């Protein structure tokens, strides 16, 4: 005798769903992520201005997390293409903190070295290095270090624009350092210790 649709569903639910990846991502996200509440409606991808360049829509990515597809999810370029515009967040009927989940996935991918193209992770790391060194962002240092490593040709193409910005007083060739660098370093070191314990 063939199963009724309801019996089909029950048969599938016989074994426990493995939500460990979903929970891990949710717990590592700032605030209350509400990732578990995703109903797969697709409002996120439909609202995303950079979806055309993503490997997966946010909806697909969240389904992958639910399915425990760790490798595929962390290798996806989707979090790196997210422009942090929060369009998906305000449209999500379940109030999932989508942008913050994307930040969490970036961090996990960096730690596990799961990315196909290192440009974006390197940019974030260079930015963080500058902030940890000076306490303020340092655009000139960031741009030159990043372009030298990843696109020296583009550096030549944008040199004229950079010089124009310098000429107009919009790009400083010297970083600004805060006075309380020791204090900031102590705070960040303590925070990093806790971050490791948190994992």
Partner 1 sequence: MSDYIFYPGCAMESNAKAYYDSLMEIAQPLGINLQEIDDWNCCGATEYVGINLIPAYSLIARNLALAAKMGHKTIISPCSACYLNLAKADYYMAERPSLGEKVNEALAAGDLQYTPGSLDIRHLLDVLINDIGLDKLKEKVVRPLKGLKVAPYMGCMVPRPDYHNRWSDAEHPTELFDVLKAIGAEVVDFPGAATCCGGHMTQIGPETAYELIRRLISSAEKSKADIMVTVCPMCQLNVDAYQGETNSHFGTNYNMPIVFFSQLVGLALGFPPEKLGFGSEVTSTEKALAQIGVDIPESAIAEGKKRQQEGLPMPLCMRKTTTSESKHAEEAKA
C-alpha span between 174 and 190 (Å, rounded): 29
Between 32 and 39, whose beta carbon lies closer to partner 1?
Answer: 32
Of residues 67 and 114, the one with the C-beta less far from partner 1: 114
CB-CB contact of 132 with 186 (8 Å):
no
Token pair in block for residue 110:
């960096």
Total chain residues near partner 1 (CB under 8 A): 74
State the binding string over 127-146 for partner 1 (x if CB under 8 A, else -).
xx--x---xxx-x---x--x
Do residues 33 and 96 make contact, with C-beta atoms less than 8 angstroms apart? yes
In sequence order, the 6+-apart residues with CB closer than 8 A to the CB of 146 are 122, 123, 126
Q: Residue 198, interface with partner 1 (CB under 8 A)?
A: yes
CB 88 within 8 A of CB 38: no
* Binding residue for partner 1, selected from 17, 18, 53, 71, defined by CB under 8 A: 53
Among 1, 13, 52, 153, binds partner 1 (CB under 8 A): 52
Is 67 or 184 the residue whose CB approaches partner 1 more closely? Answer: 184
Q: Minimum Å distance from CB 81 to partner 1?
A: 6
> What would the x/- binding string for partner 1 be over residues 90 to 119, using CB under 8 A?
x--------xx--xx-xx--x--------x
Q: Is residue 167 involved in binding partner 1 (CB under 8 A)?
A: yes
Site for partner 1 in 59-78 (CB under 8 A): none
Nearer to partner 1, 13 or 194 (CB): 194
Site for partner 1, residues 19 to 48, rule: CB under 8 A: 28-32
Please give the helix or strand (H or E) that residue 69 lies within, else none. Answer: none
Which residues, other chains included, contact 126 with Cβ-Cβ below 8 Å and sequence gap of 6+? 142, 145, 146
Residue with Cβ nearer partner 1 (67 or 77): 77
Q: 10 Å Cβ neighbour count for 31? A: 7
By the 8 A CB rule, do 115 and 75 touch?
A: yes
């Amino acid at each position: 005798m063939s199963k009724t649709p309801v019996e089909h569903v029950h048969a599938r639910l016989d074994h426990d769903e493995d939500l460990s990846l979903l929970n891990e991502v949710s717990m590592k996200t700032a605030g209350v992520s509400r990732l578990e509440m995703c109903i797969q409606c697709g409002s996120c991808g439909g609202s995303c201005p950079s979806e055309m360049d993503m490997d997966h829509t946010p909806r697909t990515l969240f389904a992958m997390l639910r399915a425990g597809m760790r490798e595929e999810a962390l290798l996806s370029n989707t979090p790196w293409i997210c422009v942090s515009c929060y369009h998906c967040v305000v449209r999500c009927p379940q109030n999932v903190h989508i942008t913050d989940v994307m930040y969490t996935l970036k961090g996990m991918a960096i730690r596990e070295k799961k990315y196909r193209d290192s440009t974006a992770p390197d940019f974030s790391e260079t930015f963080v290095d500058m902030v940890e060194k000076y306490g303020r962002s340092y655009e000139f240092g960031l741009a030159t270090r990043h372009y030298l490593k990843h696109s020296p040709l583009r550096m030549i193409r944008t040199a004229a624009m950079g010089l124009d910005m310098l000429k107009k007083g919009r790009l400083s060739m010297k970083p600004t350092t805060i006075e309380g660098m020791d204090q900031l370093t102590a705070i960040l070191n303590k925070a990093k210790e806790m971050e490791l314990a948190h994992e």
